[in-house]
Structure 1
């Protein structure tokens, strides 16, 4: 595959992922994607049989981009509480960046797409579940480390708590998108995440002192 061919395919993936995240799957057409990517429609169908196939490729790309970021945040050399607070800060930072760029809150890319399509497209649903499972593996490892450090009880159900973390973060981003405001996310994502696990928010504790 030539470099130009690879670049065109990747341009479609990047453009589709961004447009669908900014708007919605239903609101974005193949024509919209081709126009924004400056790619001819025939080239689109050369690489992808349908918009759904392109969306799967965009989700694959999202996971590939997230992996090194999660590897860095959830490094075993980093204290487990710091991993969680760093994740919360990064989420808020990325949402604020998108708000500045596009003028509205975009929420969770895979979560928003899942809300729209998971009940009607099983392939996209399965892909989103794969992304969620990938995230939960990092959360579960962090919770095990919290248990090992004595910060959580020995009988903690690590898998169930990882599920709760994913649900909480995804839900908070969904609410931020619905409200089109980062106020609640900026105020409560980090402290709420720690409260969910029964941990202290060191930032708020310092303020109180």
Structure 2
């Protein structure tokens, strides 16, 4: 029996995620994806109308795979400052695991694809914007709790601070990819996050 249809679609999504994240959108062709996934080109076009369509699906899939971790990290049962500490540990751990798998630092998949394609494909730009906002919402929820608990001033612009944190974290991860080194990330990420929050490290 042949591979189930849902498995074929998922294999294309997973393969595209890996190839685009490791390399770039422009350097990876539909043929490359089909070859790596061991899927016929006709099957590709059965599920996706274009490479851009597959890229959209791969971004959504990546977010859904990350969602469980973020729900755990940003659980209301975790003290809000501790959520950010666990976020930093999670980012470094994930980047370390990926660098071992691909023998290079891959950085942020959304920033990589977004910076390459946002000016060329509106659907990709809108998808990246949508996903980044979802991550910022996690940050905002913790900041909102910090304000409620008196750890930040009531005048705090919660949305602005969440966006600033996301920009800083994403920038650090992008630099890790550029330098192909996780050492600055391990050294600076936690201190930078706590500095932006204007709170002291828990330890």
Tell me the TM-score normalised to structure 1 length. 0.94
Q: Distance in 2 between matches of 1:190 and 1:184?
A: 11
Match of 1:154 in 2: 154
Aligned residue pairs total 202
Kindly indicate whether residue 39 of structure 2 is the aligned counterpart of residue 39 of structure 1. yes
Listed as ranges, the matches of 1:6-45 within 5 Å are 6-45=6-45
Q: Distance in 2 between matches of 1:186 and 1:202?
A: 17
Kindly indicate whether residue 53 of structure 2 is the aligned counterpart of residue 53 of structure 1. yes
Kindly indicate whether residue 196 of structure 2 is the aligned counterpart of residue 196 of structure 1. yes
Where in structure 1 do 4 or more consecutive aligned residues deviate above 3 Å? none
Deviations 1:92-145 (A, max 9, x none): 111111111111110001111111011111100000000011111111110011
Local SS of the residue matching 2:4: helix
Deviation for aligned residue 1:202: 2.8
Kindly indicate whether residue 98 of structure 2 is the aligned counterpart of residue 123 of structure 1. no
Unaligned runs of 5+ in 2: none
Deviation for aligned residue 1:3: 7.3
Q: Distance in 2 between matches of 1:145 and 1:171?
A: 25
Unaligned runs of 5+ in 1: 204-209
RMSD: 1.2
Q: Distance in 2 between matches of 1:66 and 1:157?
A: 27
Listed as ranges, the matches of 1:98-137 within 5 Å are 98-137=98-137
Deviations 1:140-180 (A, max 9, x none): 11001111111111110001000101101111111111111
